[in-house]
Each structure stands twice: as C-alpha cells, then as structure tokens.
Structure 1
Amino acid sequence: MPPAHHSLTVRLPPATTGTALAAALTTAADLWWPGDRSRPRLWTESVPAPAASDTAAGRRAAEASRPVASGHRLRAVLLRYADELREGAAGGPDLVLTAAGAALDARSLRLVARVLRGDLAPGAVTPLAGPLPLDLRLDEETRRLASALALTVGRYEGAATVRVAVPVPARDRPPYALGALDGYAVFAADLSPGRTVADLLATEPLVPAEDERPPAAELAAAEPVASDGPAVLPTGPGTLPVPAHQVEYVRQQLMASPSNTPLSRLDPLSDAESARQLALGSRPKDPAPHRIDDVFAAQVAARPGAPALTAGSTTLSYAELDARAEMLADGLYAHGVRPGDLVGLCLPRSTDLVAAMLAVLKADAVHVPLDPEHPTDRRKRTARDAGVRLTVEDPATLTGHPPRPAAPRGKPGSPAYVIHTSGSTGRPKGVLVPHANVTALVDAVREDFGLSPEDTWTCFHSAAFDFSVWEIWGALLTGGRLVVVDHWTTRSPEDFHALLVRERVSVLSQTPSSFTQLAAADRAAPDPAGIRLVVLGGEPLDTRPLLDWFDRHPEDRCRLVNMYGITETTVHVTAATVTRREALAGSRSVGRPLPGWSVRVLDAHGRPVPTGAPGEIVVGGAGVALGYLNRPALTAERFVPDPLDPAGRRLYRSGDLGRLLPDGTLEHLGRIDDQVKVRGFRIEPGEVRHVLLEDPAVSAAAVTVAGGDGDDAAAVRIDAYVVPAPGPGEDPGAVRERAARLLPAHMVPATVTVLSALPLTANGKLDPARLPAPGTRRKPVAPAPPPAAAPGEVSPAAVLAAVWRDVLGVEAVGPDDDFWDLGGNSLYAIRIGTLARERGLPGIPLRQLYLTPTLGALSEALARKT
C-alpha cells in the first residue's frame, strides 16, 4: 500500500555545484539501474529570492508535491537561491527528491540523498526486489501520534472508527537496501463511546489487504538523512486532513491523561479555538421587544385605508381588519377568555382566520391553530393537550357583544401562540412562542429583504404550520397586503400560479417540494409570475432544480432565499441567497444566522466541534421559544441554559446535524437520528438521495430504509423513489447504475421506483407514509394520443380507466377502485386531469376527484358533462 509519491528536501553545502551533483546522480543511477531508459537526471532551477523567504518555501513545497512522471522512479531538482553564494549566507541550495512510492520507499530516498551528498558510496547501496515482511511493532511515540491523528480526524468526520496509515519498516531489511521495501500498516482506531485512552493506545496495527485502498489519514516516515526515528505528521500541502497543531494538542493530552480517561474528554480545540468557534455562528443584536398587536396597531395608524388582507373577492383595509379583530376580541371576552388563556382556532383559510388570530392577541390570550383539514380525532387530541378554554369554529358566535373592559396587557415576552409539531412518541408537542420572537424575526430581515408596504404576500400554508406565522406577520407588520390562498388553490399549481399573476404577488414563501411543482406550472404558463422575493424553507433544499427557474426569472429581478428554521426557534434561523452559482454547485448551505440569532455546532458533550466538522445544531438568541406546553421534562432536555448569555437565555438543541464553515455559514446535513446501519455500516439516507439528485435524469428523490425485522440484518434494504426530469426518460435501471458508480456497495439502493411526483403532506413536505411499496410500480407508460375513432365509440369510463392505469402504474382498474387507495395524490390528480383533457374528456377539477374518488363514480360525473 505505498503512497503514489513522496519527497525529501535536503539542504546541501554552499560549495555544491550542479555539475558535480549531476555526475554523482548519473554514476549512481548507472550502477543501481543499468539499462533503464528512464534513469533520473538532475534538473536545476533558480529561485530569485532568499532561501528563507516565503517565495522559496512555496517553491520547495510546489516541487515536493509535484508527482513523478509516469514510468519514472525518481526526480531530482536542485533549487538555487539568490543569496546562497553571498558571504554569510545561512546555507547552500536545496535538493528536492521525489520518488514514486511503488519504486522507492522513504528509507531508500534517504539513502539516495546520502549518496548524492557524498556521505555514502553508491556501491554500498544495493537495489533489492520486494516486498519483505513488515515489522508491525510500533514505538510508543508513533502509536501515540497515530492515536492523536485518528481521534482528531474522528472529531472532524463524526466517525466512530478511523483508519490511519502508519509507515512501518520491512523486517530483516539489509541496512543499505534500495527499493519499495518498507510499507504501511493500518491503525484502525475504535473511538466508540465508552472507549478510554488505554483502549486507544492498545490498538494493534494490521497489514492491509492487497486490494485495500490506503486510508486518507496517514503518518510519514521520519526525514532525517542520517537516522531513522518515530513516524511524524506529513508536512506537504494537502497531505493532512486536519490541522497539524490540533493533532499535536491531542497528542499532548494523550501523554498527560490517566489511562482510564474517556476519549470523549479529549478535545482537538484549545480554549481559544473553542471561543472563536462559538463566535463564528453568532450575529449579535438585541432587538427591542414588541407585542405583535402593538406593531400591527402602528401600521393601522400609519395607513388605515391601505389594503391589508385579501381572501377571494374580499379585501379588508388595515382599519377594517383592526375593527373586525376588535369585535372578535370582545366576543372572546364575552365567552370567558381571559389573559393567558389558550384559544383554539379551527377556521378555514379566510379573512376571519387572520382576524381571529389578531383578536386572540388583542384579548391578551394565546391562539392554538387547529387545521380543519386534519382528522377530527387529531384536532380533539391537540385541543385537549393544549387545554384550550374555547375553540372557535364559527366567528359569528363572537359578534354582537359589548366592548370588553380596558385592561393592561402582557409584556412582549408573554406567549402569542402554540403550534404543535410531531413527536417521536406519537404525541404532538405544543411549542409556546412569545410575541417578541415574531416581531424580532420580522425586524431581523426587514431591511435585507426590502420588505415594505408595496409588497403583496401570500398565506399559502396551514395555520398549524409555522411557515404561516412568517407569511401572515411578515406582511401585516411591514404594511404589505396578505392574500389568503384557499384550500383548493393550494392543491393546484396552475391555479396558484394564476393567482400569483392576478394578485401581483411580490413575496412568496414555499417549501422546496411545493416550489418545484409551482416552477413547472410557471414554465408552462404564458406569463411568468412577477415575484421579486422567494423564501424557501421547511425542508432541505436541493438547489440543482432551480436552474430552470433562473432561466425564466433572472437573479437581478427575483431573489431566492433559502432559510433554515425550526418551530422551536420561531420559523427561521438562517438565510442564504441562492444564485445560479450555488445551484450549479449543488450547495447545501443554509447561510448565516439572522441578526439576533446564534448557531452553534456542538458535540454530544456540549463542546464546539472544529470548523467544518459535523455536530448538533444548537440555536440561541432572539428566536428561542418558551418551551413545550405542559412538557417540563422535554423542555428541560431540549431547551438548555446558555452558559455564554449573561441574561440567562436558553439554547435549543435541534437534533439536526450540521457544520459551520470558516465564513460562518451553516450546512444542514439532516437529522442526527437519520443514521441507519446496513450490513454493519452506518449510513445517512440523505447522502444516497443527494447522489440520486445529481443525476440529470432525476428531478426529485426520496430514500427509505426498510426490512431487518427479527434482527435479520441481511434483510435491511435501501429503497429509492425518483421523479424523472423532463426529457431524459424514466428508466430506473439507468438511475441505479449511475448510483452504483458513485456509492459503495452497501449504499446502493436495492430498488428504484419511478413516480410521477413525490407524495406531500398538507404542509408541502415529503410524506413517507404514502410512498408505494418499492418496486411495485411498473415503468410509467407514455400518454397515448387521443383515440382516432369518432366521438362516442369509446366510453368515458374506458378512456378514464386507461388514464388511471398510465398514471398510477397499475395493471387493471375496476369501477369500485378508489383513486386514493391506489396510491393517488394531489399531484397524480393534476396529471390525470391533463391526460383526460388530451384524450377528449372534460377537465377533472381536483374537488371532483375528492367528491367522486372511485372510477365508476367519476366516470358517471364526467358522462353528465359530455
């Protein structure tokens, strides 16, 4: 397992001449390798700078890193400096020897240097064919250095096992033998939790297998010309995957620590480096705290007649919306709602939904959104968990009541709303968010995003999804107009696009999955949407599919911002402007923290990890919520004290994996608990998905891991689902073949299932529960042309059945088959409507498919239209 090449730089006496050195090299090469046409020659280069200068050092490094020409075993370069002949100069020229690892090892290179310096006669050196058995005994210093390197690399990579290549001598090697005789052993360090310093230092090196690739982390043989010694860290550029000074820092800790010290206590970062790392993800700002309703009142006073809220054909001005909310607040008081009470809002998307939210805040209460589209049992469970005093389902019950008495209201730090998120136990968690967090969010981005009364926003998302908090208050607290998008329009990308054009929407918020569908509708529409700002969030963004959007919406006219956020940290935490450059690079950056927010990436012990190393994303600052409603133990576990905050505020442990880059930007790497084991290997499904998305034939992808029941590890299987990109075709075999070229065998999906679209939740995120069984869908059939027969010869039911078979990929469809039971979703419904029109049937509104989901009922409904 020799290195591709390695080098040695030797300072020569000032009196050394190039002629003499070239002659010595020729004599030695003729003796060692007679008849070899690729015998080395001496190259002489002049460096117009002193030997101690940075220019000279750079030249030496460049020569040392340059590989040997193919077919050659050795290159010798004499570097002469501007000051070497000057009286009093520190030394003479440098000789840089670079050898092919398969021809000469490090000890051989030192022998060559000794011969060329004149310390050893060429005849004393004998070429010897290898290999020889290796001596796997490591001296104490080499063992400690290999341990330090492994531990440091493990912290950067988040790996529990790290392999280090350690140079070891050939056993019984003659003292002056020349060749690739020495080799490498593999120091496989186990860094699992619970391991100690003694465990690590007791690691025994192994001989690598013949076909084993050398580890990326490696030590180098000592370089003194006259003697051998313990292995050292390589010094060439790019030869070490982690900072050398951090390896040395860990080595010192290994020397000073008792043998029973857990490895988790050793840290590659010094105290100063830890402090710098904590500051890297901080955007200091102390926003002035405000209540949401106070900031809204300021907008009412400034522009009472300006349009505030549109839903369908109804538009309310700021003054009208304020008056409506005041009336509803009076009704809440009449129904017994008092400051601090929780009020459930189960209202459809309408002006009354927004007015009721504002009314609850005016009543100094806390609103709990209950999505009417959710199952009744789920809504009841959520309301019961929150302990709501009142659930508003009909705003009419809140009208016609006397004005409530004037009373002091809570401070900006008092709760404004509770949004429930899914819990690992199946019980939703209510996140309690104060007024000040929301106003701080709007204030943090107002200037950067250019938010103004000239903007028109959409409220696209469910009130039970915290993206709606950003949409509603981002518009109303900056004087803009908010357009509430009804349920059916959110399910039709074409209708939603038409709304964007009709209402002249300028600020749009979308999950990446939903935006992909909207972008497709935009491409097909005659007029592009005139949006100036798109905010993407709610799930990881794959930037490559955005290239088509940039073609139609140049970056100087429409800004795309990718925002990472969590309900527990008030919608958004970071922001990154995405340009064509990031899209081409497949960037995974979610940008820098918002002003007033902080991001730290910590290890399992709460310490900052090195720059670029993975760890848990921990969020602090203005957006951290008050905690989980009625869940003190869970709150204490996830909302932890911030040791650096003199005000005593808390941090939120996100459970997300990320890394901070040197410029302070954050990369989101998925959930920590996404890791799974496949045949003993720990993998991230996100990595498999990323490789699939790099395929030009794939526009969207999802990855699941299934099997392994009954402790049968061999049954664990990775399944992939892909949506083809327009044009390249829909061959899952080709997609898998490409993935197999980029992934190790244990990460290649066992199946690749082609879908026309990924199933999404009501919030626009991937819905894994609705993915079909892997591999059961056949390759989608291309839409057939409309029947050539005269109208009336083919029944609508027969045409519709063919459409369903093509879209859903099923062999046969009967009149009682239900579209949704066959794996249908809103995206399939859109395609069915398109194909039905192409084949001569009337258009199928999405609402109709919900009302008549079976093939027979839908056929009868269509027949009545013909």
Structure 2
Amino acid sequence: MTSAFPVFTRPVSPTERLYLAMQTLAPPFAIQLLVEGVGAIAELDLAVAVAGAAQACPGARLVRRGDDWVDSGVAPPVHVISDAGLSGDSLDDHPLLTRPLDPVDGPTCEVLLLPGSPNTVVFRAFHGVMDGKGVHLWATEVFRLLRGERPVGAREAVADHTLVERLGGGGKPTVMIPRSRSPLGRTKSVSGEPEFLWRRRTVGSTSPAAVARIAEVITAAVGGRTRIMVPVDLRRHDRDLRSTANLSLPLFLDSVPGDGWQRIHAGLLRGMVESRELAEMNNGGLQRMPTAAARAIIRAGMFLGARTGNNLVSAIVSHTGTTDLGELSCRGFAATRVSGLPVHTGMVPLTIAVMEAGGSTELGVSCRNGAGVEPRLDWLLDRIEAALGATRVVAAPVDPQADRTLTGLFRDHVRSAPEAPAVLGPEGELSYAALDAWSDAIAGELRGRGVRRGDVVAILARRTFAAVAGQIGILKSGAAFLALDPHHPDERIRGIVDEAGVGCVLTEREFAARAGLGAVAAAVLEDIPVRTGDGEGAGTDLAEPGDVAYVTYTSGSTGRPKGVQVEHRGIVNLLRAGAELYRLGPETRFAYYHTQAADMACAALLLPLTSGGAVVLVPGEVNHLTLTEIFEGSTVNTVMVTPSLLEVVVRLGLEPAAMRAVSIGGEALHEPLAAEARALFGPECRVLNSYGPAEMSIVCAAHRIEAVDGSGAAPVPIGRPTAGTTVHVLDAARRPVLAGEIGELYFGGPQVGRGYLNRPDLTAQRFVTLPDGERVYRTGDLGRILPGGELEFSGRVDSQVKIRGNRVEPGEVQSRLAAHPAVARAAVVAVRRAERGDNVLVAYLVASAGESVPEVSTLRDHLSRSLPTYMIPAEFHVVADIPLTSNGKLDSASLGTARADTPTAVLPADDIAEIWACVLRVDASTLDDAADFFELGGDSLAAVEMLSQVSRRVVGPGNDVGFVADLEDLVHRLTLGRVRQAAHRARVPAHR
C-alpha cells in the first residue's frame, strides 16, 4: 500500500552533529522515558500501537543518510523482557538502559516492556533524533492508539537552526569559559565502576520555580560562582508546531552563594522574555566542525573537567513540564509514575531532568562517577528534595551488610579481639572471650529450661557483669530480653512480667525473692556455672535479623504500660549509622548509667559490644559523684544524655576531659544549652542532637552540632534520618503538608519496630501502612523539614511528654492517682518550667465525699508503689472540681486558678535550707525539717544539683561519698531533716 505522505526527511542540524560526535564518548546518549503503572499491556497490542504511532510520528523511524535524517519505514522494535525489572532508583550499568542505538543502521528508537511490579514501559530514543519533549510526544501517541483513539501525529520536518532562522533569532551568545565548578567535587575514576551514575528521586509535591530552587541548591553546593544551563523548548514560540526533533537551546544562569531562588528565577524569566536562547544556536562552533575533530575536543574537555573541576557549566537542569498520567494510560494499565533519564554527557558533571506528574515531581539524574561521588550525589539530592518542598526525607540506602544479628556482630569481635575489654566497672574488666563464655553458659541454661527462639526472658539485676552476660545470653538463646529495674516498685515489675507473658526470669540472687516473681520460673545468674563451649547453641547464632532483640516498656495513656518490640535488624541498622555518628569502634568506652528499663540503656549496652568497644558500668543512682566520674574520669568517652541531665552537668561546673562523642536526646534541645554543650566538650568531641522513639530502635535521626549562636531560644534540628529511614510529614488526613509547614512525623525503614507486645489494637493504631504500601511508625510528634533538608521537632500531637528523657503519658499517672480511695477525681498535666527549661508533672485532685484531703506524702507513697520516681508529680494541688472545656476536655488553662493549698509553717533557715531555696526557687523561711524536696517541686535531677551543693558547701571534700551513700535509699522521702542528719553524720565520723 502506498503511503499518503511523501518520504519524511529533515537535515541533520548542527546541534545534532554535536550529539553524533558525543555518542561514542558517553553511551548510550539516549533520552529515556520510563512509564510505570499497575495493570498489564499485551505485547501484540503494544507492537501495533508503536507501529501506528511511528507512522504518525516518523521521527521515531529515522536513520542517517549523509547530511539528512530519513524515514527508514521500519517501526521501532518492541522488546518484552521478563525478570529484568528496573528495581530501585539506582539504574547504573543496567544492560537494557545502556545499550546503544544505531543512527546509521537503526533503530534510533525502541520500546521495552518489562512485566513485573510495577509494570514498566521504557521509550528510548537516540538524542540525535529526539529531545525530551519529542520522546514524550511520541509516547503519548502510542498510548492514544492503545486507548483506541486516532493519532494526532507529528510530521513537521523542522530543525532547530531552521526554526531559529524563521523566528529571527540571533544576538550575542554567552561567552563560555571553563571555570564553573562541579557541585559534586572533582572526580577520580574508580576501576571497575561505571563511568556515569543514574539516579531517580520522587518528591511528593510540586513547587513553583522548581528550576530556580534546584539552581539555588547547586550554587550552595559549588560554594562559588556557578553557571547552570537550562534547555528551553523552542516550541514555546509556535504552539501549533508538532515535531519530535531536537528543538531546545540553552539559557545560562549565573549565580553565587546567597542568591535566593527568587533572584535566580527572575533571571530565568528575564532571559526567556528576551528570547536569549535563540542567540545560542551557533555558540562555540563545535557543531560545525568535522565529527572527528569535535569528538577530540569534547574528549579533552571531559578529561579536564573531571580532573581539574573546571567545567563550562556546573549542571544542566531541564524541566519538561507537567505530564498527565491519563495520557500515558490505557484500558487495563494505569500509569502511576513517569520519569525521565537524561543522557550521560561527560562535558557537564551533572544533569537533572525534572518532570511533574500526579502531584509529584520526578527527578532523573545523570552525573560523572568517581571516588566519593555517590554519597555526595545522594546528599545533594536530599537538599534538592527539601528545597522542592518535600515532606518526605529519605536517608542513604541501607548498608548491604546490615542484614546481620546483634549476636553475630558480637561474635565477630570475640573472634577478632578475644582479649579486648568488653565490660569495665567496679568489678574490674571483662574481656570479649570471658563475656562470650559466660553468655554461652547462660544461653545453654535458658535453652535447657525450655526457652526457645521468639520467647521473652526478663532480667532483674543491677548494672553488673552478670547482668551484661545475662542480656547477651538471652540474645544467644534466640529470645528477646526484657530488662527490669530493681528500683521500680514490685507492682510495676509484676504487672510488666504478667503483661509480657514472661515464662522465665534471670535474676541476681538478691532479687530472687522479689514479690510477684514467685509464680515465674527464675534462674539465678550466680548459680549458672561458666564452662567454655558449654551450652546448647554455643558458638551459633540462633536468632534471625527479623527476630525481636528486646522489649522495653513505655508509659501508656490508659494506665497500662506498653511493651515495644525492637528487632535485631533495627539496632544493626542504627549501628551502621552510629559507627560514624558516635565514632564507634574499639576505642569506644560507652557509659551505662541509665535505668535498665529504658531504651537508652539498650544503646549503651549493645552499640559498644557490637562495634568492638566496651561498656562502662556506672553503679547506683545518678548523683554529682557519678556524673563527675563519667565526665571528668579517664574511662568514659561516649555518653548519651538528656538535655535535663546536661543542664545539671553544666551547673555543676564539670570539665569533661576525654569525650569522643556525646549524644543529646530524649527531650527537645534548644540553642542556649546546645551552645554551652558545644563549648563544654571542646572541638575534638562529636556532639549530636539525637532523636528517636523507642519504636524506632532508639535513634533514627541525628544532627551534628557545630557552631551555635546560643543567643536565641530556637530548637536545635533533630537532623537527618539514619540509613534507609524515611520520614513523612503529614497532616491529620495523612496527606503531605506544604513545604516548611508543621505536620506529624511518620518514620519508615528497617528501624521500625515490630509493634507492641500482645497489643494488636494499639499496634494497628501506631504502626500504619501508607497509600504507597510503606509500613511506618506514627510518632505523635510534630515537626517540619527545614530549607536545608533537616528535620525540626515541634512538639507533640497528644499529651505525651518527656520527663528527664523518659516518655510519660500523664493519663497513666492520673489513673494511678484516681485509684486512691480518698481521691474522687484527678488530673495530671505537664508543665514546662521556663526557669529550668525542663518538664514536670503537676497533679490536681478532688477529694472523695466524706474523706479527708490526703497528705501529699501519702499520695507520693501511694504512687511510688506502682510508678517509677520520674513519673511522680512534682506538685500536688487539691481543687474543688476538675474544670472542663465546652467540649468536655480537660481545661488545663483553668486548673492553675483552682488551687486550695495550705502553706507550711515558718521556721528559721540554715545553710541547707538556703541551698534548697535556691534550687527549688522557694522562700527559705517556709522550710522545716518535714519539708519534702519532691513535694516542693523538685525532681531527681534537681536533687542531684541540691546534693552536690550540700556536699561541697556543707559536708566538705572527703566526706561526700558517705553522705551520698546515706541518701541513696531515701529517694521517695527526701526531707530537709533527713538531709541535715546525713550531712551531720558525714561531717562527724564517730556518728556514722
């Protein structure tokens, strides 16, 4: 059948001659459009549509004949390739995407169909015959035919130079001097690695002036004068023009750091209004040189640009417009993602193709490869994503070696350095070999008692060698450990053991008879003999990466604590990040002073033992002596602290001597304290603001604190997520918020915990699946993404609060308080003390009918039987009623006006009373011997400060050890009289 149209032909333009010269230098030199979706497309249907679209768009069938492109009459081939999905966004060296297209013998265009999840259609065109807009036009014609519609076609035989002549273009081209630096630094080739990298990135929103925003980030990364090339589609001058040819010419944007995107965007608009791109038709003259000569010059330019860092431009940023996903869909197939891969070009260090589709922005990236380029590229894309208003932050990919277990990593260090110290403390030193043998024996004992993989084993012990061996032994048995704090009340311990369904408890002998544990099988640590190599499972790893490593209980709003299950792979993933963040390694000496029941304690235990370092056990309660030993001693060099405890360290005037890394977390950190910390620990110490709910394996984001002004009260960023961790900032309907706006933080990735032990209802509420299928943890924390791409914590969605780094639901305290027979109703709220910068709990209660108002000491004793010290309110107030808002919620603002308290008697003050008055900010004349430190608003950290001052100013040097030991068991009843008596005994040895 004779065609109704003459044979299609058009001249090879000067620009396309340049592309022909570059083809062999940076293969495949193809524009590639990837259409991903759900559903399927039949191979035969696709082949018919591709043939029909090529008839309507003959630019898809071109081959070179001398100085012309000629329609070959042969439709682009369609290849169906199974088991070759384009998984992930790193497509380097993919054989389907790197094979060349032949401009002489053809084909110059082809289509790939990759069945899978998702199904993907790839449109490939040699850049000598099509530009990005041309490929998109051709692809829409294919899908138009797949939908059964008539093609529109694109048969204009125009080239860029002829169109410029028609438009009357000309003018003075930009002077090109190779002085623009790469945003990725100099590149040095790596043997065996691909010469170029491809990346794709999806930003979950669209932004005005996207090119200018990207240019601002690139300029900041270059750090000096920057030139960026922006291809401009010449079709904008003739809206009726339908051609698939290369019809784009560049505009050049010059910028320096500090130029905002608004200024850069204004420059771009000005250039387009003046049609400056038309003046660039013959810039440089390379287009008109013989191919061999042009190729030699280009090769030299590529070499010099890579080695010297001097380039004609720093980057190419091309925006191909907005794509309607419906245009690339058909019956049985719905497009969900459309992205473009730019050509590789060694003349320019970085090329970014921008495309908007479905409310998202797709970035396709090509860059020169070299040593260290890959992490710098990911770093740059993180910042570009943030600049485009991303409400999703994605960290670096997961380490391919991260699929390990904690016990497997521990055994690596046993084998490599068996005599290295694993645990240090008052008992001396425990080597890796000794800890391995001891924990193997415990694992064997547990297996002999019926403990199996997946069980939960509780451990009740102080911070001792035996306790460390017990926790490692539990892990070796394949079970998860549940650490209990002996200082917690029996009622709480019993409730947690019952809640967790624990069948076996490891305990030190002194705690074996603790109330409530008699019904559970107990194994006494001191009674387990250590025989090297003994025990079932010794020397083997019985756990899997997805098994639960430990369970830690946090406060619950209903009065029922909830057990967070954290898997091996979550902590292993944190370890990979921590190796750099906390400088973990054989030199690490990590302070373990936290309550055993907290996830910070798990970090202090597990991170050093899986990185070849040592755990440093700090016995007893935290006081000024233990803090002095931690921060001024010669052993500890790595520590995790809350801002509240850091405040105490600062006020004590300690002078840290040898800190390598300090992680501050558990509460919001503000600039003044961050500035003090930065100065306190010195330039050689790594100081970080760390963030992480227990459900996210301890720490899932961190910010390295460098220079801090400290004059303002702004919060310090919580930084960037750990490897593989994703962060979404969503509104109440779980939709992405706008750039810079506050929303709820949702975290995904390998550190997401398994859920709450035996609480499927609560697990379903907090561990949710987003529309894209990603399982995430809903933190209940508010935050936003800062312009530089870091996260900022902005408070809580609910009433949950951090008290000295411990997560507390005031509702749990309220329910315990209301259980007292003399209390009819109660309300507990968190109050931030501006003068100290920390949070405290304040309780309001209504007495039961016919009951006397309970004494504060009675209420404190009542709560101390079931709650840890940090959960006992600092203040108690009796009120006539609990005020409510119009919608029935607690009216916190009105509670402060309803107090009915009775002042204490006025007695003479003394030195200790003056210290109390200063720390508590009360009148010293109101204090008598019965005055209770905690009733007056004190907490354990304020007590540390008070005791240190009493020790220094009243007891005196040399007597403070006995003074502190005398008070250690009085934490619930710390009265002025008792402190006075202890101070007197310490000063007069005969009275001890």
Equivalent pair of 2:782/2:795 in contact (CA under 8 Å):
yes
Residue 484 of structure 1: how far off its partner (Å): 1.3
Equivalent pair of 2:632/2:657 in contact (CA under 8 Å):
yes
**How far apart, CA to CA, are the structure 1 residues paired with 2:461 and 2:984?**
35
Residues 549-599 of structure 1: per-residue CA shift (max 9 Å, x gap): 333433x31221111111111111111111223645534311111111110
Residues 487-521 of structure 1: per-residue CA shift (max 9 Å, x gap): 23xx2234322333323322221111111212333
Equivalent pair of 2:582/2:686 in contact (CA under 8 Å):
no
Name the structure 2 match of 1:108.
none
Name the structure 1 match of 2:525.
396
* Residues 544 and 330 (structure 1), Cα distance of their counterparts in 2 relative to 1, 3 Å cut: same
Residue 410 of structure 1: how far off its partner (Å): 3.3
Equivalent pair of 2:590/2:614 in contact (CA under 8 Å):
yes
Q: Verify: 1:849 aligned to 2:953, yes or no.
A: no
Q: Verify: 1:444 aligned to 2:581, yes or no.
A: no
Letter in 1 for 2:727: V
* Residues 368 and 599 (structure 1), Cα distance of their counterparts in 2 relative to 1, 3 Å cut: same
* Residues 643 and 850 (structure 1), Cα distance of their counterparts in 2 relative to 1, 3 Å cut: same
**How far apart, CA to CA, are the structure 1 residues paired with 2:608 and 2:447?**
27
Name the structure 2 match of 1:546.
674
Equivalent pair of 2:692/2:698 in contact (CA under 8 Å):
yes
Unaligned runs of 5+ in 1: 1-87, 90-151, 153-247, 250-267, 676-684, 690-701, 708-714, 726-759, 779-794
Q: Verify: 1:412 aligned to 2:527, yes or no.
A: no
Equivalent pair of 2:634/2:658 in contact (CA under 8 Å):
no
Residues 281-325 of structure 1: per-residue CA shift (max 9 Å, x gap): 012413331111000000110110111101214210111111111
**How far apart, CA to CA, are the structure 2 residues paired with 1:719 and 1:405?**
52
* Residues 717 and 280 (structure 1), Cα distance of their counterparts in 2 relative to 1, 3 Å cut: closer
Report the RMSD for the aligned CA atoms in angstroms. 4.2
For the residue of structure 2 that corresponds to 1:309, the secondary structure is strand
* Residues 529 and 383 (structure 1), Cα distance of their counterparts in 2 relative to 1, 3 Å cut: same
**How far apart, CA to CA, are the structure 2 residues paired with 1:435 and 1:513?**
30
Name the structure 2 match of 1:654.
779
Equivalent pair of 2:631/2:656 in contact (CA under 8 Å):
no
Q: 2:696 aligns with which of 569, 592, 598?
A: 569
Residue 278 of structure 1: how far off its partner (Å): 5.8
Counterparts of residues 457-496 of structure 1 (less than 5 Å): 457-488=590-621, 491-496=622-627
Residues 379-424 of structure 1: per-residue CA shift (max 9 Å, x gap): 1111111000112222435503884334872321111111111111
**How far apart, CA to CA, are the structure 2 residues paired with 1:300 and 1:717?**
49
Q: 1:513 aligns with which of 612, 621, 644?
A: 644
**How far apart, CA to CA, are the structure 2 residues paired with 1:405 and 1:832?**
49
Equivalent pair of 2:696/2:777 in contact (CA under 8 Å):
yes
Q: 1:334 aligns with which of 448, 464, 472?
A: 448
Residue 541 of structure 1: how far off its partner (Å): 0.9
For the residue of structure 2 that corresponds to 1:623, the secondary structure is coil
Letter in 2 for 1:272: S
Name the structure 2 match of 1:102.
none
For the residue of structure 1 that corresponds to 2:695, the secondary structure is helix
Residue 654 of structure 1: how far off its partner (Å): 0.9
Name the structure 2 match of 1:611.
739
Counterparts of residues 708-857 of structure 1 (less than 5 Å): 721-723=833-835, 769-771=873-875, 800=912, 804=916, 807-808=919-920, 809=922, 811-826=925-940, 827-828=942-943, 830-835=945-950, 837-839=952-954, 843=960, 845-851=963-969, 853-857=974-978
Equivalent pair of 2:391/2:785 in contact (CA under 8 Å):
no
For the residue of structure 1 that corresponds to 2:723, the secondary structure is coil
Tell me: higher relative CO, structure 1 or 2? Use CA pairs within 8 A at least 6 residues apart: 2
Residues 500-547 of structure 1: per-residue CA shift (max 9 Å, x gap): 3323322221111111212333xx34x532212111111111121232
Residue 664 of structure 1: how far off its partner (Å): 2.4
Name the structure 2 match of 1:503.
634
Name the structure 2 match of 1:591.
719
Equivalent pair of 2:573/2:723 in contact (CA under 8 Å):
no
Letter in 1 for 2:690: M
Residue 830 of structure 1: how far off its partner (Å): 3.6
Aligned length: 513
Residues 655-700 of structure 1: per-residue CA shift (max 9 Å, x gap): 111112343211111101259xxxxxxxxx99xx9xxxxxxxxxxx
Counterparts of residues 193-342 of structure 1 (less than 5 Å): 271-273=359-361, 280-287=392-399, 288-342=402-456
**How far apart, CA to CA, are the structure 2 residues paired with 1:296 and 1:372?**
27
* Residues 835 and 420 (structure 1), Cα distance of their counterparts in 2 relative to 1, 3 Å cut: closer
Letter in 2 for 1:352: A
Residue 353 of structure 1: how far off its partner (Å): 1.7
Tell me the TM-score normalised to structure 1 length.
0.53
Counterparts of residues 1-150 of structure 1 (less than 5 Å): none
* Residues 724 and 285 (structure 1), Cα distance of their counterparts in 2 relative to 1, 3 Å cut: closer
Unaligned runs of 5+ in 2: 1-167, 170-206, 208-321, 324-355, 364-384, 509-523, 815-826, 838-863, 878-895, 902-907
**How far apart, CA to CA, are the structure 2 residues paired with 1:345 and 1:716?**
31
Equivalent pair of 2:394/2:721 in contact (CA under 8 Å):
yes
Equivalent pair of 1:274/1:608 in contact (CA under 8 Å):
no
* Residues 829 and 560 (structure 1), Cα distance of their counterparts in 2 relative to 1, 3 Å cut: closer
Letter in 2 for 1:593: P
Equivalent pair of 1:803/1:836 in contact (CA under 8 Å):
no
Equivalent pair of 1:330/1:398 in contact (CA under 8 Å):
no
Residues 91-118 of structure 1: per-residue CA shift (max 9 Å, x gap): xxxxxxxxxxxxxxxxxxxxxxxxxxxx
* Residues 644 and 273 (structure 1), Cα distance of their counterparts in 2 relative to 1, 3 Å cut: same
Residue 448 of structure 1: how far off its partner (Å): 4.7
Tell me the TM-score normalised to structure 2 length.
0.47
Name the structure 2 match of 1:362.
476
Residue 861 of structure 1: how far off its partner (Å): 4.5
Residues 466-500 of structure 1: per-residue CA shift (max 9 Å, x gap): 11222222211111111011123xx2234322333
**How far apart, CA to CA, are the structure 2 residues paired with 1:271 and 1:314?**
61
Equivalent pair of 2:785/2:792 in contact (CA under 8 Å):
yes
Equivalent pair of 2:744/2:782 in contact (CA under 8 Å):
yes
**How far apart, CA to CA, are the structure 2 residues paired with 1:627 and 1:717?**
27
Residue 372 of structure 1: how far off its partner (Å): 1.2
**How far apart, CA to CA, are the structure 1 residues paired with 2:867 and 2:662?**
17
Letter in 1 for 2:359: D
**How far apart, CA to CA, are the structure 2 residues paired with 1:478 and 1:312?**
22
Equivalent pair of 1:799/1:839 in contact (CA under 8 Å):
yes
* Residues 468 and 582 (structure 1), Cα distance of their counterparts in 2 relative to 1, 3 Å cut: farther
Q: Verify: 1:670 aligned to 2:820, yes or no.
A: no
* Residues 439 and 802 (structure 1), Cα distance of their counterparts in 2 relative to 1, 3 Å cut: closer
